A and B are shown apart, each in its own frame.
Chain A
Amino acid sequence: MTTADAARPAADAAPAADAARPVPDAAPAAPAAPSAGDVAAPGGLTASDAEPEPKPVPRLMRGSIPQALLLNRFGGLGTISVVSLAFLYLPMLIVVAYSFNGGNQALIWQGFSWRWYARVFTDASIISATKVSLQVAAIATVASTILAVLYVLAMDRLSRAGSAVSTAILAAPIVVPEVVMGVATLAFIRLIGLSPGFVPLVLAHTSFCVPFAMMNIRARYSGLNPAYFESAADLGAPHWTVIRRIMLPLLMPGIISGALLAFVVSMDDFMISNFLASAGSTTLPIYIFGLIRKGVNPSVNVVATLLLILAVVVTTAATLLTHRQAKERQHR
Chain B
Amino acid sequence: MTKAGWRGLLGATGKARPGQLSVGFAVPAILVGLVFTLGPVIVIGVFSFLSQPETGGGVVYQFSPEAYRHFLLQEDFLGNTHLDLRYLRSFGLSAFQALATTAVCIGLAFPIALWMTTKTPRAQNFLVLVVTIPFWTNLLVRTYAWILLLSDKGTVNSVLEVIGLEPRQLLYNSGATLVGLIYTFLPFAILPIYSALAGFDFALAEAAYDLGARKLGVVRRVIWPAASGGVMSAIALCFVPAFGSFVQPVLLGGGKVMMVGNLIAAQYGEARNWPFGAALSVIILALTLLGAFALLRWAKRSSQKVSLAI
Q: Is A7 an interface position by the 8 A CB rule?
A: no
User: Contact check: which of A56, A237, A268, A300 meets B144 at CB < 8 Å?
Assistant: A300
Q: Which A residues between 15 and 46 are near B, CB-CB below 8 angstroms?
A: 16-17, 19, 26, 28-37, 39-40, 43-46
User: Contact check: which of B17, B24, B130, B284 meets A85 at CB < 8 Å?
Assistant: B130
- Interface flags for A54-69 (1: CB within 8 Å of B; 0: not) read 1111111110111101
Which residues in A have their C-beta under 8 angstroms from that of B77? none
- Taking a contact as CB atoms under 8 Å apart, the answer to whether B281 and A183 are in contact is yes
B293 smallest CB distance to A (angstroms): 8
A10 to B70, CA, bound (A): 64
- Taking a contact as CB atoms under 8 Å apart, the answer to whether A60 and B117 are in contact is yes
B185 smallest CB distance to A (angstroms): 11
Which residues in A have their C-beta under 8 angstroms from that of B134? 88-89, 92
User: Contact check: which of A107, A186, A307 meets B138 at CB < 8 Å?
Assistant: A307
A76 to B219, CA, bound (A): 14
Which residues in A have their C-beta under 8 angstroms from that of B135? 32, 315
A171 smallest CB distance to B (angstroms): 9
- Taking a contact as CB atoms under 8 Å apart, the answer to whether B118 and A157 are in contact is no
Q: Is A159 an interface position by the 8 A CB rule?
A: yes
- Given A157-B23, A179-B244, verify A91-B36 contact (CB < 8 Å): no
Majority SS of interface residues in chain B? Answer: helix
User: Contact check: which of B121, B141, B267, B268 meets A92 at CB < 8 Å?
Assistant: B141
B86 smallest CB distance to A (angstroms): 18
- Taking a contact as CB atoms under 8 Å apart, the answer to whether B153 and A36 are in contact is no
Q: Is A184 an interface position by the 8 A CB rule?
A: yes
A70 to B137, CA, bound (A): 33
Q: Is B151 an interface position by the 8 A CB rule?
A: yes
A29 to B232, CA, bound (A): 21
- Given A60-B121, A64-B203, A85-B112, verify A33-B19 contact (CB < 8 Å): no
- Given A88-B183, A191-B43, verify A183-B114 contact (CB < 8 Å): no
- Given A58-B124, A175-B288, verify A33-B194 contact (CB < 8 Å): yes
- Taking a contact as CB atoms under 8 Å apart, the answer to whether A178 and B133 are in contact is no
A180 to B295, CA, bound (A): 21
Which residues in B have their C-beta under 8 angstroms from that of A65? 202-203, 206
Which residues in A have their C-beta under 8 angstroms from that of B247? 270-271, 289
Total A-B pairs, Cβ < 8 A: 420
- Taking a contact as CB atoms under 8 Å apart, the answer to whether A177 and B118 are in contact is no
B283 smallest CB distance to A (angstroms): 10
B299 smallest CB distance to A (angstroms): 4
Residue of A nearest to B130 (CB): A85
A255 to B20, CA, bound (A): 16
Q: Is A296 an interface position by the 8 A CB rule?
A: yes
Q: Is B83 an interface position by the 8 A CB rule?
A: no
Residue of B nearest to A92 (CB): B145
A113 to B191, CA, bound (A): 37
Partner-binding segment picked from A114-122, A124-132, A227-235: A227-235
A162 smallest CB distance to B (angstroms): 4
A71 to B132, CA, bound (A): 24
Q: Is B167 an interface position by the 8 A CB rule?
A: no
Q: Which of A180, A264, A301 has the most CB of B within 10 A?
A: A180
Which B residues are closer than 8 A to A by beta carbons? 9-12, 16-26, 28-30, 32-41, 43-44, 47, 58, 108, 111-112, 114-118, 120-121, 124-125, 127-149, 151, 153-155, 183, 186-187, 191-192, 194-196, 198-199, 201-203, 205-206, 209, 215, 218, 229-230, 232-233, 236-237, 240-241, 243-247, 250-251, 261, 264-265, 267-268, 274, 277-278, 281, 284-285, 288, 292-293, 295-296, 299-300, 303, 310
Which A residues are closer than 8 A to B by beta carbons? 13, 16-17, 19, 26, 28-37, 39-40, 43-47, 49-50, 54-62, 64-67, 69-71, 73-74, 76-78, 80-81, 84-85, 87-89, 91-92, 94-95, 98, 106-108, 147-148, 150-151, 153-159, 162-163, 165-166, 169-170, 172-173, 175-188, 190-191, 203-204, 206-208, 210, 214, 226, 228-230, 232-233, 237, 239, 242-243, 246-247, 261, 264, 267-268, 270-271, 274-275, 285, 288-289, 292-293, 295-296, 300-301, 304, 307-308, 311-312, 314-316, 319, 323
